[in-house]
Chains A and B, each alone.
Chain A
């Protein structure tokens, strides 16, 4: 806010080696000790506040937490449910992480997940079980990633061509993705045999992900591998480095001769591809068919997961797992405590607010 250097003054050649804006050089916090403890303490506060809100609604918070805990830790299957939920959450989070490195907000994960599922189904339909399982699944994944990338590519192009803010355009495109999926499953992809709500056809065995145990599919490993890949790519490749420069100091990026607009588009599209992969894993590993209400809210939870760890790709595994456990716990809250399962949205929101407001004081922005 208190920018002292007038960058528009033609007489003053801005010195890019010293950036005096407070955003670029955050002063190290005085209390540097135990930043992790601070974050943990604030997150504990979120659990306390949620408990108080449960109490205010007339419910027993201890019983509520017990119900949530039990539904997560009951047996291998309930723990598996957390892992199953982790996969789309994590990929939706990574879809936020990569553009954030370049200083961009992608809040269209919700739609990109759906478009990924549509892309996977389109590939399966086109192949018509002509190939064995592994190549079929690889083609479906590829198609999903391309679909997700192209979908957000429209927002990237609008940003490049007209300067349309990507936050707003990705947000609006969520609704369009939902309607496109609805158009398909109520129309040309509608399963003629489906009773009740329209759905697409059910995927054949050769189009489904292999299972590890119970309901846990192999996509969990894919999602976690994707987190490592994103981490490595952002850390060690020139592309990752350039995104960091662009996000940290766009002026420096411009002076270094980076094609900023193209870089930004590539970051958004990489994010879209990751979310698209998430949609493919969900449709081939869990749903087995397309339906309009699938993955509702997953994209936004991904945004929460990414911000909770300040866009660190590996830590996003932990935040996505925590949010997945809370979401699964929400079912327990409904079944055992008779509370609405969407109540856990409160806990998710409070956890993010705790980190945003009371976590480490460094790196408040998307970029760093």
Chain B
């Protein structure tokens, strides 16, 4: 049972891992993007459509990445160039993604796609317990295993990562050094959107293997919550994403075994888990927030 739950956690959590790690990079630069949900949707549809037209899931994944990135650039333009409110813009971006994918995706509903096949790693996938959990997945899932360490390395060990963190903490220092915080934030938003698009691609072409309207179903919003939950640390973010998808897998497993508990109450477990952990850690998390991100939320600057 534990094995089934963990396999389910990895399968279902991968799209959120991409999105949440991307959003971590974005928020580290001082921008919050609630449009991640929309970027995942456009990524999912683009990957699905290109996958169908070309028969190549890799081209689909690439298209998904670019579609998510493109939509996030709208967010960047609105909040960085037009100085629009980030929360409201992000929600509008999600609506935009929802509408665009519903308009252009209509003809793709319930069409067959060439899905990403699973590649079992020879040898390793036969290891009991660990094998099925870690070594029997689609290529994007393998890629997702590397994404959090890569993001950590990027943020803490590269010049651009340093600039992104500086833009989030002390943009004026960055400006003094001759680097435009705005330009750095554009890049960070684009990275976040691209990864969200890739997550959407994984969702449509490897996990669900279908396209339906609004199929992301809140995963993008959860990803944003997970970033705060994880204290803006990409590694912890991934743990949060698997915790969430693990809770989902747990309730699916309980349902499959037949239980007297209502499935709606079981469904609530992952959301409750995130909310409770978020509340429990909020006091400490406040200090780890990128400083210029505080200004986004504290439109009224309430001392809580």
CA of A353 to CA of B95, assembled, Å: 11
Query: Which residue of A1, A183, A246, A303 contacts B262 across the interface (Cβ within 8 Å)?
Result: A183
The total number of A-B Cβ pairs within 8 Å is 183
B52 lies within 8 A of chain A by Cβ: no
Is B283's CB under 8 angstroms from A348's CB?
Answer: no
Residues of B within 8 A of A367 (CB): 299-300
CA of A165 to CA of B283, assembled, Å: 10
Segment 203-220 of B: residues with Cβ below 8 Å from A: 213-214, 218
Residues of A within 8 A of B279 (CB): 158, 161-162, 164, 169
Residues of A within 8 A of B300 (CB): 102-104, 246-248, 250, 366-367
Interface flags for B251-275 (1: CB within 8 Å of A; 0: not) read 0000000000010110110011011
Interface flags for A324-368 (1: CB within 8 Å of B; 0: not) read 000000000000000110111111111011001110000011110
A27 lies within 8 A of chain B by Cβ: no
A17 lies within 8 A of chain B by Cβ: no
Report the minimal beta-carbon distance from B84 to chain A, rounded to whole angstroms: 4
B172 lies within 8 A of chain A by Cβ: yes
Query: Which residue of A180, A248, A339 contacts B103 across the interface (Cβ within 8 Å)?
Result: A339
B98 lies within 8 A of chain A by Cβ: yes
Asked, given contacts A304-B92, A340-B102, A350-B96, whether A159 binds B304 with beta carbons under 8 Å apart, the answer is: yes
CA of A250 to CA of B298, assembled, Å: 10
Asked, given contacts A104-B300, A172-B225, whether A304 binds B264 with beta carbons under 8 Å apart, the answer is: no
CA of A367 to CA of B88, assembled, Å: 13
Is B304's CB under 8 angstroms from A160's CB?
Answer: yes
Residues of B within 8 A of A356 (CB): 78, 82, 84-85, 88-89, 92
Is B172's CB under 8 angstroms from A2's CB?
Answer: yes
Is B96's CB under 8 angstroms from A186's CB?
Answer: no
Interface flags for B88-123 (1: CB within 8 Å of A; 0: not) read 110111111011101111100000000000000000
Residues of B within 8 A of A35 (CB): none
CA of A158 to CA of B277, assembled, Å: 12
Is B298's CB under 8 angstroms from A103's CB?
Answer: yes
CA of A168 to CA of B283, assembled, Å: 15
A264 lies within 8 A of chain B by Cβ: yes
B292 lies within 8 A of chain A by Cβ: yes
Residues of A within 8 A of B74 (CB): 353
Residues of A within 8 A of B98 (CB): 342, 345
| A53, A159, A172: residue with the most chain B Cβ atoms closer than 10 Å | A172
User: How big is the B interface, by class?
Assistant: 35 or more
Is B271's CB under 8 angstroms from A172's CB?
Answer: yes
| A159, A251, A357: residue with the most chain B Cβ atoms closer than 10 Å | A357
Q: Would you call the interface of chain B mostly helix, strand, loop, or mixed? A: helix
CA of A168 to CA of B23, assembled, Å: 14
Is B264's CB under 8 angstroms from A183's CB?
Answer: yes
A77 lies within 8 A of chain B by Cβ: no
Report the minimal beta-carbon distance from B203 to chain A, rounded to whole angstroms: 18
CA of A182 to CA of B265, assembled, Å: 9
A300 lies within 8 A of chain B by Cβ: yes
Report the minimal beta-carbon distance from A297 to chain B, rounded to whole angstroms: 9
Report the minimal beta-carbon distance from A360 to chain B, rounded to whole angstroms: 12
A228 lies within 8 A of chain B by Cβ: no
A298 lies within 8 A of chain B by Cβ: no
B221 lies within 8 A of chain A by Cβ: yes
Is B228's CB under 8 angstroms from A165's CB?
Answer: yes
Query: Which residue of B78, B228, B271 contacts A175 across the interface (Cβ within 8 Å)?
Result: B271
Is B264's CB under 8 angstroms from A103's CB?
Answer: no
CA of A167 to CA of B295, assembled, Å: 13
Is A366's CB under 8 angstroms from B85's CB?
Answer: yes
Query: Which residue of A158, A179, A343, A352 contacts B88 across the interface (Cβ within 8 Å)?
Result: A352
CA of A251 to CA of B303, assembled, Å: 9
Residues of A within 8 A of B102 (CB): 340, 342-343, 345
Is A1's CB under 8 angstroms from B228's CB?
Answer: no
Interface flags for B286-297 (1: CB within 8 Å of A; 0: not) read 100000100101
Is A264's CB under 8 angstroms from B228's CB?
Answer: no
Query: Which residue of B94, B213, B264, B278 contacts A342 across the interface (Cβ within 8 Å)?
Result: B213
Is B221's CB under 8 angstroms from A103's CB?
Answer: no
Is A340's CB under 8 angstroms from B84's CB?
Answer: no
Query: Which residue of B262, B282, B299, B304 contacts A105 across the interface (Cβ within 8 Å)?
Result: B299
Is B299's CB under 8 angstroms from A103's CB?
Answer: yes
Asked, given contacts A172-B271, A366-B85, whether A165 binds B282 with beta carbons under 8 Å apart, the answer is: yes
Report the minimal beta-carbon distance from A89 to chain B, rounded to whole angstroms: 14
Is A349's CB under 8 angstroms from B83's CB?
Answer: no
Asked, given contacts A53-B100, A176-B271, A261-B304, whether A163 binds B282 with beta carbons under 8 Å apart, the answer is: yes
A171 lies within 8 A of chain B by Cβ: yes
CA of A215 to CA of B267, assembled, Å: 35
Is A254's CB under 8 angstroms from B299's CB?
Answer: no
CA of A102 to CA of B304, assembled, Å: 13
* Residue positions of B touching A, CB distance < 8 A: 74, 78, 82-85, 87-89, 91-96, 98-100, 102-106, 171-172, 181, 213-214, 218, 221-222, 224-225, 228, 262, 264-265, 267-268, 271-272, 274-275, 278-280, 282-283, 286, 292, 295, 297-304
7 further A-B pairs in the complex, CB-CB below 8 A; given A54-B103, A102-B302, A348-B99: A1-B171, A1-B292, A57-B104, A171-B224, A173-B275, A180-B264, A340-B106
Sorted nearest first, the 9 A-B pairs with minimum C-beta distance are A103-B300, A345-B99, A346-B99, A357-B82, A183-B264, A356-B84, A342-B102, A349-B95, A349-B96
* 6 pairs of residues in contact across A and B, judged by CB atoms under 8 Å: A172-B271, A179-B268, A246-B302, A304-B92, A344-B99, A356-B84
